[in-house]
């Protein structure tokens, strides 16, 4: 628990000092049952999905972006989502952003909770995917900074937001 508190504190400081990312119905049981808001969680860091996602970030942080990549030598956004779901949640997702966007059930931005996939239109023909963690943060493989956590409310991501899907 002490380590988790230190990691959480270090992450909060780094998010404050660092910039955001790159520039330019029935469904299977969800990863958790409660929405991710301050009022719905008893203690910070006790949600199993949130803990798994921060652990994945710690393990992959800074891994460079490589289109089509599927390893720590280089990975793209949909590959990172594919591997994260397999490693942390034991679920197999499609490999491409296009197919991941069709998996699961569409949800609103207000319904986001840990483990939901968030999709962005980063250019006319390019889509980007990440995994929502909590409090506006999502985990993804950025083209400029590699695997990182960004804030969905950052101007760039807010304008590029397309949709969200719950697996």
Which active-site residues does the annotation give?
A: 77, 128, 140
CA distance 94 to 81: 9
SS3 116: coil
- Determine which helix (DSSP H) or strand (DSSP E) holds 16, and give its type and residue range: helix 2-17
Let me know if 9 is exposed, middle or buried by CB neighbors in 10 A (0-12, 13-18, 19+): exposed
């Amino acid at each position: 628990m002490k380590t988790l508190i230190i990691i959480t504190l270090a992450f909060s400081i780094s998010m404050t000092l660092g910039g955001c990312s790159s520039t330019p119905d029935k469904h299977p049981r969800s990863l958790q049952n409660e929405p991710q808001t301050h009022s719905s969680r008893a203690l910070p860091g006790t949600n199993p999905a949130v803990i798994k996602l921060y652990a994945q970030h710690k393990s992959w942080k800074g891994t460079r972006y490589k289109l089509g990549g599927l390893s720590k030598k280089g990975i793209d956004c949909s590959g990172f989502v594919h591997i994260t779901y397999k490693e942390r949640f034991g679920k197999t997702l499609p490999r491409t952003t296009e197919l991941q966007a069709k998996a699961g059930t569409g949800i609103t931005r207000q319904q986001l909770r840990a483990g939901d996939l968030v999709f962005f239109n980063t250019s006319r023909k390019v889509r980007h995917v990440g995994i929502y963690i909590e409090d506006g943060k999502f985990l993804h493989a950025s083209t400029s900074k590699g695997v990182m956590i960004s804030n969905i409310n950052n101007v760039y991501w807010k304008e590029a937001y397309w949709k969200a899907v719950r697996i």
